[in-house]
Amino acid sequence: MIEEQLKSYVDLASEKIGGQVLYATDDFFAEKENLIKEGRGIFIEDKYTDRGKWMDGWESRRKRSEGHDWAIIKLGASGKIKGFDIDTNHFLGNHPPFASIEAIKLSDAIEDWSSADGLNWKEILPKSPLKPGSQHFFEIDSPEIYTHVRLHIYPDGGVARLRVYGEIYKDWTNVDPAEPIDLALITNCGKALYCNDMFFSNMDNLIMPGSGKNMGDGWETKRNRTPDNIDYVILHLGHPGIIKKVIVDTKHFKGNYPESCEIEACHCTNDVDVLDESHHWEILLPRRKLSSDSEHEFEDDILKPLKAVTHLKLKIFPDGGISRLRVFGTLT
């Protein structure tokens, strides 16, 4: 399915990785910033504002003149766009009948986005029909790197969420190879490949920018009563490197943090071999005790693997939650 394929990519527009809604021609009924928030949006039946019904999305007023509305989103990370989800969830009598999307790569800041028509936009999603209260997945094939997208709605109405699925791009030639960098960070092209359990919260949260905002903003497994149980997650680092320091953060996890953790590392040329276990793991961080709601910094405990590291396996004993994992290393 297109939906499953697209969700295997990163949402480049997500506010969790730094996406921003910079401008909208009109957001009279509902703020443009809602477009890139988490979730599909909620509906509160009796909630109103002084402008009308409160809606969890971006909604413009009814247009009484020529033209249509549009909004500009700065991607949290530049990248190759693979597709979109234009979600009209809860917009039933007020959704736009059609939408299209343009994209552009910009290196300089724009002061006046109202004159964005003068920029060299490229249409990557032609004008397409939308249904009320529905997710609309569109797959595209574009090899170019983009930094911004412009969502057009025809002629007006409301969109709950916009997801811009793609692969993050980073120009590693601009990175000092002697300066440690978080190689697991999602905006540095890190990726969570697999975990054996993420019952309460998603493994992707481990490598998001910033601190976890609450207990749901981390990776948490279910309670496991199996003796000697080990839960684990496998990460693909954004660039091969020599690991210098690891930070395991249990922020917000107070009665459900793991008793201890261990990290293994390997050097492998592709993810398939990592996931089917046809490779050799080495201990990077021997098993260490963890405590609740704390940032654990490990530097002297790091063992030096034989080769530059491409993948990590974080093991937790016996179960529980980790807010963030930071993996600082130098490029090879």
- What is the per-residue pLDDT across 102-150, written as a single tens digit (0 to 9) for each? 999 999 889 999 999 999 999 999 999 999 999 999 999 899 999 999 9
How far, in whole angstroms, is CA 150 from its chain's centroid? 19
pLDDT tens per residue across span 52-80: 999 999 999 999 999 999 999 999 999 99
Give 279's pLDDT tier (boundaries 50, 70, 90): confident
- Return the residue matching tokens 């961080």: 285
Longest CA–CA separation in the chain, Å: 69
| Separation of alpha carbons 83 and 91, rounded Å | 22
> What pTM was estimated for this model as a whole?
0.93
What CATH code is assigned to 2-168?
Answer: 2.60.120.260
The values of phi and psi at residue 329, to 5°, are -150, 170
Q: Output the pLDDT for position 307.
A: 81
Confidence class of residue 304 from pLDDT cuts 50, 70 and 90? confident
Q: Residue 1: which pLDDT band, with cuts at 50, 70 and 90?
A: confident
CA neighbor of 223 nearest in space, from 291, 322, 319: 319
* Domains of the chain, residue spans: 2-168, 173-331
CA distance 155 to 247: 49
Whether the domain at 2-168 and the domain at 173-331 fall into the same CATH topology: yes
> What is the reported pLDDT for 305?
74
What token pair was written down for 49? 């504002």
Q: How far apart are CA 302 and CA 306, in angstroms?
A: 13
**What are the angstrom distances between the C-alpha of 89 and each of 42, 68, 92, 101, 306?**
8, 21, 8, 19, 51
Place of tokens 């530049």: 78
CA distance linking residue 135 with residue 95, whole number of Å: 12
Distance CA 265, CA 274 (A): 10
Pairing of strands 282-289, 260-266: antiparallel
DSSP calls for 46-71: T-EETTEE--SSEEPPPP-SSS-EEE
φ and ψ of 173, to 5 deg: -70, -15
Q: How many helices (H) and strands (E) does the chain have?
A: 2, 22
CATH dotted code for 173-331: 2.60.120.260
